[in-house]
């Protein structure tokens, strides 16, 4: 098989016969289908949130509870984590060694955990103010949308830890590279969803 055939978008499978290019493509296409189904889930949650914006029922509303500063910091953290994961992918693609990939993945993991810490702090403040999901339709919709994204970030952090373990055991073989590529798609997808949350929920909520 030629070197051109062994190269797959986003991967460097040169000098490796562990996986056929078609097998890698099928795995990626299947994961894209999963991401599209996840996008539908978030679209429904955004739609529900939009219909409940005015349904505060006397409970705290977006202007009272949302703070633009912390949410902007969370946005910067998550976008930076997307950059660090991209640098891990570049190190993997161009065979710059296992240490570089692991270092960038560890930094991505730390940023993901810091993001979750900020988000939990925001939720704790809202609960202290009496802004709990059972108070109004607006708060129920908010706590259906934003924590769902947080759960996805948590899953992504766990996935990074699993990949670090796989790299330690198997090295950067073809299947580990493919799994890292899927994880990268998932992580960048979460960044896109968060940008939508920041724009639709926090930015709109604090400026209206």
Q: Please tell me whether residue 97 adopts helix, strand or coil conformation.
A: coil
E strand or H helix that includes residue 105: helix 98-128
List the one residue out of 150, 144, 157, 156 whose CA is nearest residue 121: 150
Would you state the pLDDT for residue 18?
54
Q: CA 78 to CA 69: how far, in whole Å? A: 14
Q: CA 83 to CA 107: how far, in whole Å? A: 10
Would you state the pLDDT for residue 172?
87
pLDDT tens across the length of the chain (208 residues): 444 444 444 555 444 445 555 666 777 888 999 999 999 999 999 999 999 998 998 888 998 899 889 999 999 999 999 999 999 999 988 877 789 999 999 999 999 999 999 999 999 999 999 999 999 999 999 999 999 999 999 999 999 999 999 999 988 888 898 899 999 999 999 999 999 999 999 999 887 6
Q: CA 108 to CA 182: how far, in whole Å? A: 15
Quote the DSSP letter at residue 61. -
Quote the DSSP letter at residue 198. I
For the entire predicted model, the pTM comes to: 0.88
Length in residues, the chain: 208
Which tokens go with 13?
A: 């499978």
Which tokens go with 193?
A: 């969803």
Q: CA 151 to CA 157: how far, in whole Å? A: 10
Q: CA 197 to CA 147: how far, in whole Å? A: 11
Cβ contact 61:80 at 8 Å: no
Residues 19-30 as b/e (b if ≥16 CB within 10 A, e otherwise) read bebeebeebbee
Express each pLDDT in 179-193 by its tens digit. Answer: 999 999 999 999 999
Would you state the pLDDT for residue 21?
56
Would you state the pLDDT for residue 26?
76
Phi and psi angles of residue 134, each rounded to the nearest 5 degrees, phi first = -85, 0
């Amino acid at each position: 098989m030629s070197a051109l055939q062994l190269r797959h978008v986003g991967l460097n499978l040169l000098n490796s016969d562990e996986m056929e290019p078609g097998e890698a493509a099928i795995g990626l296409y299947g994961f894209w289908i999963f991401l599209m189904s996840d996008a539908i889930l978030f679209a429904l949650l955004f739609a529900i949130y939009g219909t409940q914006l005015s349904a505060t029922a006397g409970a705290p509303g977006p202007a009272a509870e949302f703070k633009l500063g912390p949410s902007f910091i969370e946005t910067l953290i998550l976008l930076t984590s997307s950059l660090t994961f991209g640098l891990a992918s570049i190190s993997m693609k161009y065979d710059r060694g296992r240490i570089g990939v692991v270092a960038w993945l560890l930094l991505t993991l730390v940023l993901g955990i810091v993001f979750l810490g900020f988000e939990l702090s925001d939720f704790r403040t809202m609960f202290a103010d009496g802004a709990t999901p059972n108070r109004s339709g607006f708060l129920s919709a908010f706590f259906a949308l934003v924590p769902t994204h947080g759960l996805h970030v948590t899953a992504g952090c766990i996935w990074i830890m699993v990949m670090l373990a796989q790299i330690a055991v198997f090295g950067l073989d073809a299947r580990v590279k493919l799994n890292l590529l899927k994880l990268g798609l998932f992580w960048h997808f979460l960044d896109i969803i968060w940008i939508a949350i920041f724009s639709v929920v926090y930015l709109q909520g604090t400026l209206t």
